[in-house]
Amino acid sequence: MIFTVAIDGPAAAGKGTISRAVAAHFGFAHLDTGALYRAVGVKGGDPVAAAQTLTPEDLARDDLRTLEAGQAASRVAVIPEVRAALFDFQRRFARAEGGAVLDGRDIGTVICPEAEVKLYVTASPEVRAHRRWLELGGDAAEVLAQVKDRDARDMGRADAPLRPAADAVEIDTSELSIEEAVARAIEVVRARLA
């Protein structure tokens, strides 16, 4: 069975947590596409060459979840040649037999517009910044400024800007528990599978 769940949304909205839970619930493969861009960003050197030579070891680095890696990912994600290098990898993963859940910023709009399920997971910038601050620490005001800067970059880029697909189901996690958000996502996927 080929069945793709595309989950998009801004940083710290909960899409990674929801994606992993949905994939585990249905026995689908999971790909955090942001990890691809984070790996390219932290690899250093020429970003296009880094994207073209990405290895499984690059995706297993311990520093991919840092604030710096997230900022680096956002900077390299605006480079069309980097996006092109990672496009085919993501498409193959998404349409492989057995079902797949991909989370990122342009899965439902660019990578897999034919996905059987499209979710857009979001939350207010303040809630997302607080979550990121709890995860990584630092100065709360600075974390909020970084979240807003990243949103502006991701939503304003010329190539594949962050936005919900026209047919995406939106889940605003601002006032939902993790369990409630996951349950809503599973409910949407279950309905489409039926």
Q: Spell out the residues 6+ positions from residue 68 whose beta carbon is closer than 8 angstroms to its own.
A: 42
Token pair belonging to 135: 């995860």
Q: 116-130, pLDDT tens digit by residue?
A: 999 999 999 999 999
pLDDT, one tens digit for every residue, the chain (194 residues):
999 999 999 989 999 999 999 999 999 999 999 899 999 999 989 999 999 998 878 988 999 988 889 889 989 988 999 989 999 889 988 998 999 999 999 999 999 999 999 999 999 999 999 999 998 889 999 999 999 998 998 899 887 889 999 999 999 999 999 999 999 999 999 999 99
Q: Is 13 annotated as a binding residue?
A: yes
Cα–Cα distance measured from residue 101 to residue 94, given in angstroms and rounded to the nearest whole number:
7
Run of H or E residues at 4: strand 4-8
Q: Is 9 annotated as a binding residue?
A: yes
Q: Which of 20, 28, 16, 30 is nearest to 173 (CA)?
A: 16
Q: Residue 101's beta-bridge partner residues?
A: 5, 30
- Helix (H), strand (E), coil (C) string for 9-65: CCCCCCHHHHHHHHHHHHCCEEEEHHHHHHHHHHHCCCHHHHHHCCCHHHHCCHHHH
Q: Is 12 annotated as a binding residue?
A: yes
Q: Is 16 annotated as a binding residue?
A: yes
CATH class name, domain 4-193: alpha beta
User: What is the chain's Cα-based Rg?
Assistant: 16
Q: Which of 47, 7, 12, 40 is nearest to 148 (CA)?
A: 12
Q: Spell out the residues 6+ positions from residue 21 whose beta carbon is closer than 8 angstroms to its own.
A: 182, 185, 186
Buried b (16+ CB within 10 A) or exposed e, 107-131: bbbbbbeebebbbbbbbebebbbbb
Q: Within 13 Å of residue 163, how many CA atoms lie on the same side as its CB?
A: 12
Cα–Cα distance measured from residue 148 to residue 95, given in angstroms and rounded to the nearest whole number:
33
- Provide the whole-model pTM: 0.86
Q: Is 15 annotated as a binding residue?
A: yes
